[in-house]
Amino acid sequence: MKNSKMQVALNEALLAKNEGEVPVGAAIFLGDTLIASAHNETVKTKQADAHAELLAIRKATEILGDWRLSECELYVTLEPCAMCCGAILLSKIKRIYFGAYDSQSGVCGGKIDITGENLFGSQPEIYGGIYELECQRLLSDFFSNLRNEKNKN
C-alpha cells in the first residue's frame, strides 16, 4: 500500500536511527497538509518523554495555536505507548495510523487497547499495520545492531 504520509514518519524514524535514537517517527497532517513531524529524542534530550508522538503534538499545537487537534491525523511508525496515547486522546486527534504493532507496550491493540474506551471524551479511529514490514525491520535492525555492539564490548 502506497502512503506518502506514512513515508514522512518513516523518514523521521530514519533520522532518529542516524542519531542513535530508537527509530520511531511521527507526522501530523491536517487534510493533505503536513503540520508537524518529529522523531524520538530521548537520548539527545535525556528526557524519557521525548517520544516522536509527543514532540509532533507539541509542534502541531504551536503551529495551529490550539491544543485541540480534532481534525488532524497522526502517522507514527510504532504503535503508541500509554503515555503517547494519553496525549493523543487529550489532543483529540481524529485518526491514528501506525506501522509496527508493539506487543510489549502498545495500547492500540498490540498489548492492550485503551482507544475504544472514549477516555477524555475522545475515541480516534485506529489503523495499524501501515508499512508494517518496513517499520518492523527498521526497529529490529536497530536493536539487533545495538545488541551486537554491546556483545563486542
11-36 burial code (b ≥16 CB/10 A, e <16): ebbebbbeeebbbbbbbbbbeeeebb
- Grid cell 525491520 is found at 137
- Rounded CA-CA distance 62/122 in Å is 21
Cell numbers found for residue 50: 521525548
Candidate list 53, 62, 117, 132, residue with the active-site label: 53
**53 part of the active site:** yes
Cell numbers found for residue 107: 495500547
Q: CA 129 → CA 20, 73, 132, distances in Å?
A: 24, 16, 5
Cell numbers found for residue 137: 525491520
Provide the annotated active-site residues. Answer: 53
